[in-house]
Amino acid sequence: MVSLVAAHEIVQAAVAIHVQMWPVHQQIKRSWAPDGGWPSLRNPIEARRQDFVNIARRQLAPPGPPV
């Protein structure tokens, strides 16, 4: 478990990653993932991770290009 104290928008982005990860975790745990299907399962998680990084950078770091 991770506790995150941050601006609401950053926390929402972190929760969005978790929401995408949980079903994938369950699929893999139950061996429901197709052979070679990891990239397609990972894409939504990766998109939410990029959203999180961009939101956190926008609020916490100097301006720069998005990920």
Query: 14-24, pLDDT tens digit by residue?
Result: 999 999 998 88
Number of domains, the chain: 1
Residue 52: partners with Cβ closer than 8 Å, 6 or more residues away: 10, 13, 14, 16, 17
Classified as helix, coil or strand, 23 is: helix
20 to 16, 48, 52, 65: CA distances (angstroms)? 6, 8, 13, 25
Under the banding of pLDDT at 50, 70 and 90, the label for residue 6 is confident
**For residues 53 and 31, what is the distance between their CA atoms, to the nearest angstrom?**
30
Residue 2 lies in a domain: no
Segment 20-31 shows an average pLDDT of 82
pLDDT at position 37: 73
Query: Would 12 be classed as within a structural domain?
Result: yes
Asked if residue 48 lies in contact with residue 20, where contact means CB atoms within 8 angstroms, the answer is: yes
Structural domain for 46, as ranges: 8-60
**Residue 27 counted as domain residue:** yes
Is the pLDDT at 1 greater than 70, yes or no?
A: no
